[in-house]
Structure 1
């Protein structure tokens, strides 16, 4: 059966907002949580990309009670969206042309483990809404990526999707959903198993078409 849709991860696949997020998180910590003496680096952000909020909280603030760690993480993520709506992130080179071309032949979607509002920051700031038919995130459902891929496919009546992502978690999510996976090797993570890969978003056109 021919593929009937393409589902993307966001961070490390379509854009890199790690520098902007690190700056926003540090500003929020200094302003609202001055007793938390922690400097979050861009590498820290890249290391937690793709995690759900609870996992981010446990990773960034391992010495705090989980309730406080979650409260801080929820706050810095809320402020992050305000920040990103103003400045956006860094799109991978050639992204819009790739999306424009693919959207002529396939419906495009995004599934991410992010909070509500984050995907909208990406779409609205960079004016990419017209290329995507829909999206789903863990902030909307409380579910992890594999379940959300399945839920999105059911919602839109998709039968033969491919998921494109850059981390082991993305690969495992695609396996859980029972769909094809393509590794965005230019992103943040690594994959333990041998899987098909691309070295730039531009290579996606040759792989798909």
Structure 2
């Protein structure tokens, strides 16, 4: 069945945003006198929102922290991280090859588009706006937009309900196992791209329904079928 709605993950799917996330993380750590964390480690933590990312970073830089101490440190650090990320968001991120062309093709074909990200809504919209991609999307769902976030089905189900689209007419696209699980849990087709982050694992291990080399390739598949 032809797809009427496609929801997209953001980081690692539409935009390579890891450099600016790492910049904000290390600027935050520096303000507390903590040495920087390498890019590979930070990339492995992308996908669950900025709060969970910083929780994992703090656990790495000080493995001796108890859970209570880690929670307290996180509460202290997050306002600083939010300020640093607000300064960097959208300054270094770049759309992956084929993203803009693919989104335009889908729009022109009448396919409705939305972003479902675990990044906080404020940062997701700022990133899309500053990267020039925001006009392609009718809706942006962040990790704090609803009571539950990916891989819970609530975010995708919310978009389906708002657009009055059935599950069989929708697909979710992402770069990680979280996105594949989200699609499965929501009852929509699970598509993936082979680049991105995915916690350092090949996306094929998550067994998506189909892997597209680019968003443009995905768009051509949708339009021609």
Residues 194 and 211, structure 2, Cα contact 8 Å, conserved in 1: yes
Alpha-carbon distance in structure 1 between the residues aligned to 2:51 and 2:25: 16
Alpha-carbon distance in structure 2 between the residues aligned to 1:30 and 1:186: 30
Residues 57 and 70, structure 1, Cα contact 8 Å, conserved in 2: no
1:29-79: per-residue Cα shift (whole Å, max 9, x none)?
A: 222x23xx2422221221111113453243212234213224424531442
Instruction: With the length of structure 2 as denominator, give the TM-score of the two structures.
Output: 0.82
Residues 7 and 114, structure 2, Cα contact 8 Å, conserved in 1: yes
Instruction: With the length of structure 1 as denominator, give the TM-score of the two structures.
Output: 0.88
Select 1:45's aligned residue among 39, 42, 56: 42
Residues 42 and 57, structure 2, Cα contact 8 Å, conserved in 1: no
Alpha-carbon distance in structure 2 between the residues aligned to 1:178 and 1:56: 27
1:24-39 alignment, distance < 5 Å: 24-31=24-31, 33-34=32-33, 37-39=34-36
| Higher mean C-alpha deviation, range 136-145 or range 167-176 | 136-145
| Higher mean C-alpha deviation, range 195-204 or range 130-139 | 195-204
Select 2:135's aligned residue among 121, 130, 135: 130
Superposition deviation, residue 17 in structure 1: 0.9
Question: Is 2:106 the partner of 1:102?
Answer: yes
Give the aligned partner of residue 91 of structure 1. Answer: 95
Residues 102 and 220, structure 2, Cα contact 8 Å, conserved in 1: no
1:100-151: per-residue Cα shift (whole Å, max 9, x none)?
A: 1111120110000111312212221122222111110112224112321111
How many residue pairs get aligned? The number is 205
Secondary structure of 1:117's counterpart equals helix
Q: Would the alpha carbon gap of residues 68 and 39 (structure 1) be closer, same or farther in structure 2, given more than 3 Å must change?
A: same
Give the aligned partner of residue 7 of structure 2. Answer: 7
1:148-169: per-residue Cα shift (whole Å, max 9, x none)?
A: 1111221222212100001111
Q: Would the alpha carbon gap of residues 165 and 74 (structure 1) be closer, same or farther in structure 2, given more than 3 Å must change?
A: farther
Residues 13 and 175, structure 2, Cα contact 8 Å, conserved in 1: yes
| Unpaired segments ≥5 residues, structure 2 | 60-64
Question: Is 2:32 the partner of 1:18?
Answer: no
Residues 113 and 138, structure 2, Cα contact 8 Å, conserved in 1: yes
| Unpaired segments ≥5 residues, structure 1 | none
